[in-house]
């Protein structure tokens, strides 16, 4: 008779449920099969099999502990209705904090997890030609998520719903140059990241606040990064996706954290609108604002935007300046309201992970 340790069975059940997507569940037979496969690997005995009685006992234990959910499919036409299981949110959080613990190895995982958050909410968007965009999209339709134009200004922005973890936006700037042309620019940003991008960002980052919080030991940077990245992947805190270019990338698995990233990115977009009004209608950006613009777009694109704004500012009327100034004040007030909403809704998540944000 083969005796299984209780903790081995529990971990096999939790691991099996962690491997499915957030919104999916496993039926009884599939979960039972997966657990047995994991126990065989653990014992290195291919013929070992856990009894259904012992399996049911541990399932009942996890249900009573509030770590798994049990759902009967009442819509099924089968005589015996199928039963599905999934981890509770509490169990997922427990797993995450078991992974993101206090040992040096776990500290590195936590540092990298924070790095991914910081990178995603601050990453710059990239410019793309209309021809290249059409080639990539092929027959995929873009669906408008938001569209905004500031009355009395020359700036119109259209943001489209993400396509394969890639968000696209169109910016139209009217009245450019002596002939007052309308220029149209397309940009995209990845909602997912690659291992190479994160490693490169870690090596090149010169943001003092970021480095103080995230820094790995310099002499072991790459080794620590690779190990921490693989651990996050193995522990299901990040997962593999494919972007619009067909490239393999990763996203943070936790929907709530991804939502928080999206909200913070929106705040950054409103700050960008404020900078746009300032440099196009009022005055030059200061060094801090220019650096922020370079962080969002890259130096080359930021220089182009600033050069275009300097040209635009030469022909701005007093009325246009007044409209832009009022719009800036409205956006500043809106950002403060949005920051308050985000803090109220996601404050616990920010505190739990120790994420760095600009919500204060």
Provide DSSP, 11-42.
HHHHHHHHTS-TT--EEHHHHHHHHHHHHHHH
- C-alpha closest to that of 187 among 251, 121, 269, 117: 269
Q: How far apart are CA 103 and CA 327, in angstroms?
A: 49
Q: How far is CA 154 from CA 66, 132, 269, in A?
A: 55, 25, 17
Residues 309 and 174 in one domain: yes
- Asked whether residue 106 is domain-assigned, the answer is no
What confidence tens digit (pLDDT) does each residue in 168-195 have?
Answer: 989 887 776 667 778 888 999 899 999 9
Least confident span in 18-22, 211-215, 293-297, 307-311: 211-215
Q: Is 172 in the same domain as 260? A: yes
Give the end-to-end CA distance of the chain in Å, rounded to a whole number: 60
Pair 129, 24 in one domain: no
Q: CB–CB of 160/281 below 8 Å? A: no
Query: Which DSSP string corresponds to 242-290?
Result: E-TTS-EEEEES-HHHHHHHHHHHHHHHHHHHHHHHIIIII----HHHH
Tens of pLDDT along 51-89? 888 889 899 989 988 889 998 888 888 888 889 999 888
CA atoms of 201 and 225, how far apart (whole Å) = 12
> Mean pLDDT throughout 199-211?
60
Beta bridge pairs of residue 149: 156
| pLDDT, mean of residues 293-317 | 84
| R_g of the chain computed on alpha carbons | 25
Task: Classify strands 83-87 and 166-176 as parallel, antiparallel or unpaired.
Answer: unpaired
On whether both 283 and 149 belong to a single domain, the answer is yes
Distance of alpha carbon 154 from alpha carbon 46, whole angstroms: 69
C-alpha 39 chain-centroid distance: 34
What's the CA gap between 295 and 302, in Å, rounded?
Answer: 9
Has this prediction a pTM greater than 0.75? Answer: no
Same domain, 177 and 290: yes
| Domain around 139 | 124-192+254-353
List pLDDT tens digits, range 214-224: 555 555 677 87
pLDDT of 244-270, one tens digit each? 888 999 999 988 999 999 888 888 888
- Provide the CATH number for the domain around residue 15: 1.10.10.10
Among the candidates 87, 103, 134, a domain finishes at 87
Residue 212 lies in a domain: no
The total of structural domains in the chain comes to 2
Q: Do residues 341 and 264 share a domain?
A: yes
Number of Cβ within a 10 Å radius of residue 146: 12
Do 134 and 80 lie in a common domain? Answer: no
8 Å CB contact between 323 and 296: no
> Is 207 domain-assigned?
no
Q: Which residues have C-beta within 8 Å of that of residue 206, sequence separation ≥ 6?
A: none
- pLDDT of 158 > 70? The answer is yes
Domain endpoint, select from 87, 105, 136: 87
**Final residue before a domain boundary, out of 87, 111, 138:** 87
Cα 43 to the chain's mean position, in Å? 37
Same domain, 130 and 267: yes
Helix (H, G, I), strand (E, B) or coil at 313: helix
CA 181 to chain centroid: 36
């Amino acid at each position: 008779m083969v005796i299984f340790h209780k903790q081995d069975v529990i971990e096999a059940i939790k691991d099996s449920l962690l491997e499915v997507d957030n919104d999916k569940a496993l039926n009884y037979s599939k979960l039972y099969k997966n657990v047995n496969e994991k126990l065989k690997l653990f014992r290195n005995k291919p013929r070992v099999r856990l009894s259904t009685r012992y399996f049911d006992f541990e399932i009942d234990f996890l249900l009573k502990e509030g770590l798994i959910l049990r759902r009967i499919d009442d819509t099924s036409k089968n005589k015996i209705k199928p039963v599905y299981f999934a981890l509770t949110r509490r169990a997922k959080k427990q797993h995450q904090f078991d992974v993101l613990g206090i040992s040096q190895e776990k500290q590195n995982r936590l540092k990298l997890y924070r790095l991914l958050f910081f990178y995603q909410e601050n990453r710059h968007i990239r410019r793309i030609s209309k021809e290249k965009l059409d080639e990539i999209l092929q027959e995929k339709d873009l669906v408008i998520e938001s569209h905004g134009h500031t009355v009395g200004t020359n700036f119109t922005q259209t943001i489209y719903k993400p396509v394969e973890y890639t968000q696209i936006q169109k910016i139209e700037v009217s009245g450019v140059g002596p002939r007052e042309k309308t220029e149209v620019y397309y940009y995209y940003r990845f909602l997912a990241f690659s291992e190479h991008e994160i490693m490169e960002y870690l090596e090149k980052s010169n943001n003092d606040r970021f480095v103080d919080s995230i820094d790995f030991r310099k002499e072991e940077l790459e080794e620590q990064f690779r190990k921490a990245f693989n651990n996050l992947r193995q522990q299901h805190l990040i997962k593999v996706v494919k972007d619009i270019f067909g490239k393999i990338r990763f996203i943070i698995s936790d929907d709530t954290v991804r939502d928080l990233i999206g909200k913070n990115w929106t705040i950054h977009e409103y700050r960008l609108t404020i900078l746009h009004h300032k440099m196009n209608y009022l005055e030059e950006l200061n060094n801090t604002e220019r650096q922020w613009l370079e962080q969002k777009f890259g130096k080359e694109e930021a220089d182009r935007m600033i050069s275009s704004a300097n040209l635009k500012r030469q022909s701005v009327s007093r009325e246009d300046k007044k409209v832009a100034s009022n719009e800036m004040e409205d956006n500043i007030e809106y950002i403060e309201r949005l920051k308050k909403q985000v803090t109220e809704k996601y404050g616990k998540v920010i505190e739990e992970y120790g994420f760095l944000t600009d919500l204060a």
